[in-house]
Amino acid sequence: MPDKQYTLLVPVDFNEQSLVALQQSYNLARLLQYDIVLLYVQEEKDFLNSLFSAEQKQQIAEDINKKMEELAADVSHATAVKVSPIVKKGKVHANILEVAEKYNSRFILMGTNDAVKSDDPARNMLGSNTSKVIRQSTVPVIAFNGKMHFNGCRSILLPLDLTKDTRQKVTYAISMAKLFGASVKVISVLWDQDSAEIKQQLMVQLNQVKQFIKDAGILCTAKLIETGDSQQALVPAILDYASEENDIDLIIIMTQQENRLIEFFIGSAAQQILRQSEIPVMSIIPKDLGFSYYQF
């Protein structure tokens, strides 16, 4: 593969959620003119290996390769996008990260089918492989937790806090909005009603970011949501807003952050959004990109 040919990496295991992620990759691949890399990782677990003979293992490997080749051919025929099937053995997350680097993947699109679902949202756990990839990937990861998604992207939700790193989400939001012809909806959540200073700072930043996005030619709205509750209300407020708007097709979050003025998407909050959102979530690890829009 040429060094400058970028790709989208879609790990698949033929379960429903990974196929949802694959279907959602088509538009992005066409718009960016990227190839799609399909990756299946066969985990080698000692206990399971002991149950099969060498001949059975060989047959399983052949069946997997055939199924991957057929899937790649079907996708390529339906989308006119070049699709490369790859089969690896070993740890799932390690192989995903290795293949992403080797094949110049600019995005990783993953289903979260290994998550444990519960009627109690607080108990839902993000799948371990998805979580590890999100934490360690050097490129954005788009996670798909819901079953049904709009074919495209109408609006992008951009939750902001007062940290410097969170502004990098703006650069990605502008580029994604330009790509899809989408609008951007910027929000901040204030749960401490006694902090007039923080409220003022949030309003100033919201207005600055809104203007910056509008200057880039993107339709943008900005809103401060005041919950009058504890920090625990932050994620529900974001997801409730996204649901009520009814046209948001992507949420962009940061997944690592040092302790700053407001701890926004550190650890548990990021995990909470990823495991509860029915809307695709793009996770970005902060880098020193500056305050300009990111070019794909």
CATH classification of the domain holding 68: 3.40.50.620
Pick the residue with more confidence: 235 or 7?
A: 7
Output 183 or 112, whichever has higher pLDDT.
183
Q: Are residues 15 and 138 in the same domain?
A: yes
236: phi then psi, degrees, rounded to nearest 5: -55, -35
Asked if residue 140 is part of any domain, the answer here is yes
Last residue of a domain, one of 89, 116, 144: 144
pLDDT band at residue 123 using 50, 70 and 90 as cut-offs: very low
| Structural domain for 214, as ranges | 155-284
Does residue 292 belong to any structural domain of this protein? no
Output Rg (C-alpha) for the chain, integer angstroms.
Answer: 20
Residues 124 and 211 in one domain: no
Asked if residue 245 lies in contact with residue 185, where contact means CB atoms within 8 angstroms, the answer is: yes
The pLDDT value given to residue 264: 41
Q: Residue 29's pLDDT band (boundaries 50, 70, 90)? A: very high
Is the CB of residue 89 less than 8 Å from the CB of residue 8?
no
Residue 150 domain flag: no
In this prediction, residues 276-284 reach a mean pLDDT of: 92
CA distance 232 to 122: 11
pLDDT per residue as tens digits for the range 53-68? 777 778 888 899 999 9
**Cα torsion through 113, 8, 252, 212, rounded to 10:** -170
Domain-terminating residue out of 144, 171, 189: 144
Which two three-digit tokens encode residue 140? 């954005």
Check whether residue 226 and residue 132 sit in a common domain: no
In a domain, residue 112? The reply is: yes
Average the pLDDT over each of 30-39, 48-57, 107-116 and give the range with the smallest value: 48-57
Mean pLDDT of 69-75: 96
Question: Is the per-residue pLDDT at 172 higher than 70?
Answer: yes
Angle, in degrees to the nearest 10, between helices 268-276 and 234-245: 30
pLDDT at 156: 97
Q: Which of 19-28, 159-168, 206-215 has the lowest mean pLDDT?
A: 159-168
Question: pLDDT tens digit string along 216-262?
Answer: 999 999 999 988 666 678 889 999 999 999 999 999 987 754 334 33
Shared domain for 11 and 129, answered yes or no, is yes
Question: What per-residue confidence (pLDDT) applies to 254?
Answer: 79
pLDDT for res 119: 47
pLDDT at residue 290, rounded to an integer: 38
What CA–CA distance (Å, rounded) separates 11 from 111? 8
* Statement to judge: residues 174 and 101 lie in one domain: no
Task: Inform me whether the pLDDT recorded for 173 exceeds 70.
Answer: yes
124 and 165 share one domain: no
The strand pair at 281-284 and 141-144 is best described as: antiparallel
pLDDT at 115 over 50: no
Residues 6+ apart with CB under 8 A from 154: 180, 182, 183, 247, 248, 249
Mean pLDDT, the chain, whole residue set: 82
Judge whether 294 lies within some domain: no
For 140, the 3-state DSSP assignment is: coil
Q: Do 175 and 85 have their domain in common?
A: no
Q: How many domains does the chain have?
A: 2
- In this predicted structure, the answer to whether residue 85 has a pLDDT above a threshold of 90 is yes
Whether residues 226 and 277 fall in one domain? yes
> Measuring CA to CA, which residue among 145, 167, 148, 149 is closest to residue 158?
167
Q: Which two tokens stand for residue 106?
A: 């600019």
In this structure, which amino acid lies at residue 132?
A: K
* 99 and 11 in a common domain: yes
Please indicate, yes or no, whether residues 23 and 133 belong to a single structural domain of this protein.
Answer: yes
